[in-house]
Structure 1
Amino acid sequence: MSKAVLLLAHGTPDVLGEMAEYLGKVTGGRTLPDAVVEELKHRYAQIGLGETPGTEPPPLTKWTIKQGQLLEQALSGTPVYVAMRNWHPYIADVVAKMRADGVTHIRAICLAPQNSRTSVGLYRRALMTAASEIAVEFISGWADHPLLAQAFAEKLWPVWAEACAQAGYRVPVLFTAHSVPCRTIMTGEASIAGARPGTSVQNTPDPYPVEAKRTAAMVAERLAVVGFKEKNWYFAFQSQGVSGGPWIGPTVEETLKSLKDEGHRGVVMQPVGFLCDHVEILYDIDIAFREIADEIGLKLWRAESLNDSPLLTRALADLASNTDAISLDDSAVMRIA
């Protein structure tokens, strides 16, 4: 074996008792107040995490492993490994296994398609630190991949059609991506976070907000064939941190209220910054945002997550194989039209 693909994801605790340790990984060792830890334990408990391991891994772990398995099947011979930045299986441990397996060349794909130097950049730093003597190709962003947009559009179309039929008019769609602290998209700190240790980089604004909205725009473009127009969609950043400090917006909460004030009776949400179910979808959208929508008299629908989407697998296979041409077959278009 010489070449292999490595999928990188955020990671999530397996049981509630690991929450404080897990959050310490997320914050780089900064201790969070007990109230914050307890609030996050509550949220994870609401989506099924318990005090003892369940019969299957948490959703993020489960779906990321499944995505790796599907990609390996699609690549027919190229091994695919999965590693997490903030929990087991850690990047360093997986890279050590890859080295023991004889891997000499890694093509790494971060399962956060929109590039942020303080999130995706941290994946790169962890991988580069661990992968000494292994050649690494790191894909830092693929927000505008046409198959990614098509995969999201395929999930959005049926729920939007149902919502419009139930409401009797064209219900707006609210695309979302995870918010980040304001400081991380500014010059300086954001630019340095994604660099190799000891490497100086140019201080330029982080591309994340622009890339997140570009993905949303590409999804909307693919539904133009069924009458979806630019005026039918909005964008917000979700899941701002609970530990304080300014985070980028607009927030979902204020956007839902604005939609209600404009006279809308419903909204379809589709998070385009996430590739599978996890707490930011199963709790933040399905529980917290739905409660807010109910309180203000707004019906909320959500498009299914990509999870094991065949189109997502095709997008990942294209990234893994580094092909130049990307095509959408007629069947992919017809599933939407």
Structure 2
Amino acid sequence: MQTSTIGVLLMAYGGPGSLDDLPGYLADIRGGKPTSKAVLNEMIRNYTQIGGKSPLLDITTKQAEALQNELGDGYKVYIGMRHWSPWMEETVRDMIKDGIKKAIAIALAPHYSIMSVAKYQEKVRAGLEMFGGDIEFEFVNSYNSAPKYIQALAERVQDGLSRWDVSERDNVHVIFSAHSLPVRILKMGDPYQDQLFETARLIAASAGLPESQWSWSYQSAGRTPEPWLGPQLEEHIKALAEKGIKNIVSVPVGFVCDHVEILFDIDIKAQALARSLGIRLERPPALNLDPLYIGALADLVKERIPN
């Protein structure tokens, strides 16, 4: 029988709240390594084109509020960021002060990797150590096949296809994508790519897409010399153009809300490339506050709390 408040920690990557935040934000991502002026200026240009800041915090806050309403009494939902305010460690401090003894931690990234979700979890443990807490955290490692999450994305596919006349829809190609990571994770036995491919197959099946009508690509690879998982979205679009594809729906499955990897990398950069190749590219809305996605998060919490 539940007798005390259960904490729910939504963990996200973080993003700059203004252009002035960019130098510090990039420094944190790069582990304190200096950012070249050229890269900083490029990032300033990119963020300027999407409104001068990341919408991640605003949307994550609203997702947390929606989840709180879905869960109701007996739960308190918090948010913590890996690379910007509100810092994960400080959110853990707040949970300790609130007297939370048991908590469920969910990354707003459905696919597990030791280079992504595991890093979020390390921040939580660091917060407990830093502030002397004894909260019993249960981590949700992944939820790449959660039924409501899959259903929500299948509806995005149908939304995208519906933007063409019925007679044209069989000729529309769907690209699923997620953030690239270094290729070396494959040798480490990391489950990231396998989980992504499973998600794509489940969405395609739910949306009724034949194998010939969808494909996979990665996007937003980092700026390091080592090889990253591919094909990259831009190169994949070029390859599809060479095959005569003229209509594309982009459905990023690894991102659960709008931020720079969607608003710039897809809506501006990939869109410009598509236009230059004579391709019509459509992107349905990100999950954001979709009730199905919020319901998927609520299910993850409730599954871990005994009646």
Change over 3 Å in CA distance of 1:64–1:166 after alignment to 2: farther
Query: The residue matched to 1:64 in structure 2 has which SS?
Result: helix
1:117-140: CA deviation from partner (whole Å, max 9, x where unpaired): 111111011101212411110111
Which residue does 2:302 correspond to in 1? 321
- Distance across 2 between alignment mates of 1:106 and 1:31: 36
| Equivalent residue runs for 1:30-45 within 5 Å | 30-45=33-48
- Alignment of 1:206 with 2:190, yes or no, is yes
Question: TM-score normalised to the size of structure 2?
Answer: 0.92
Which amino acid counterpart does residue 80 of structure 1 have in structure 2? V
- Find the aligned partners of 1:307 and 1:108 in 2 and give their Cα distance: 19
| Aligned positions, number | 297
Deviation at 1:323, TM superposition (A): 6.1
Where structure 2 has 5 or more consecutive residues not aligned to the other structure, the ranges are: none
RMSD, aligned CA:
1.6
Assess, with a 3 A threshold, how the Cα gap between structure 1 residues 185 and 17 changes in structure 2: closer, same or farther. Answer: farther
- Give the match for residue 147 of structure 2: 146
How far residue 322 of structure 1 moved from its aligned partner, in angstroms, is: 1.3
Specify the code of the residue in structure 1 equivalent to 2:256: L
Q: C-alpha distance in 2, partners of 1:323/1:129?
A: 23
1:48 aligns with 2:51: yes
Partner of 2:60: 64
SS at match of 1:136: strand
Structure 2 partner of 1:6: 9
C-alpha separation in 2, matches of 1:322 and 1:262: 45
- Residue in structure 2 matched with residue 216 of structure 1 by the alignment: 200
| Matched-pair identity in % | 37
- Alpha carbons of structure 1 residues 267 and 71: separation in structure 2 relative to 1, 3 Å: same
Q: Supply the distance in 1 between the matched residues of 2:206 and 2:178 (Cα, whole angstroms).
A: 19
1:1-337 equivalent positions in 2, closer than 5 A? 1-49=4-52, 58-77=54-73, 78-131=75-128, 132-163=133-164, 165=166, 167=168, 169-187=170-188, 205-224=189-208, 228-322=209-303
Contact 2:271–2:281 (CA<8 Å) still a contact in 1?
Answer: yes
Residue 183 of structure 1 and its aligned partner are, at CA, apart by 3.0
| Counterpart AA for 2:289 | D
Distance of 1:220 and 1:72 partners within structure 2: 31
1:11, 1:84 within 8 Å by CA — same for their partners in 2? Answer: yes
- In structure 1, the gaps of 5 or more residues are 51-57, 188-204, 325-337
How much does 1:245 deviate? 3.0
Question: For residues 307 and 318 of structure 1, what CA distance do their matches in structure 2 show?
Answer: 17
Scaled by the length of structure 1, what TM-score is found?
0.84
